[in-house]
Every structure is written in C-alpha cells, then in structure tokens.
Amino acid sequence: AASFQETTRVLTEAACQGKSDVLHGLKENVIVGRLIPAGTGAYVSQLKKLAVGRDKIAIAAQQQANAIDSEETAATMAEVANG
C-alpha cells in the first residue's frame, strides 16, 4: 500500500508542476484508471499503433505525390493551350 501512496504523491506533484509522464508502469496506469500495458494484448496493441503511424505516413506521401502530379498536368495543359 505504501508504494501506491508514493506513486500517487509523485503523480500529483508532477501534475501540479505541469510535467508529463507516459505511464509505462503498472501502478501508474492502475491509479489513473487506464488499461494496463501488459499481457497478450499489449503486443498486438503496439503493432496496431505502429501500423496506424506508418499508414498515416504512406497516405500523406501519396497525397503529396498526387498534388504534384496534378500541378504538372495543369502546367502541361496550359503550355499546350498557349501553343
């Protein structure tokens, strides 16, 4: 019980000082009511987060490539129209 009280004190002081913590530990997550990053689902959850991040990067790159293609197409059409 004492270690939970100490963790609560540390988290409270950090919050009052505007500090942040990624809450990797079991006690910290239990105290703030978050899902515990442990067990068989933790690995799958990490993989999903990684996949989402990579998907966002790939989508942004594709959108940028599409925008460049559109600009090049418009410039070519303007050149053809102007003769």
**27 touches 6 (CB < 8 A):** no
Question: How far is Cα 51 from Cα 49, in angstroms, rounded to an integer?
Answer: 5
Residue 13, pLDDT score: 87
Residue 64, pLDDT score: 93
| Stated pTM of the model | 0.43
Q: Which two tokens stand for residue 82?
A: 């102007």
Residue 37, pLDDT score: 65
The ranges of the chain with pLDDT < 50 are none
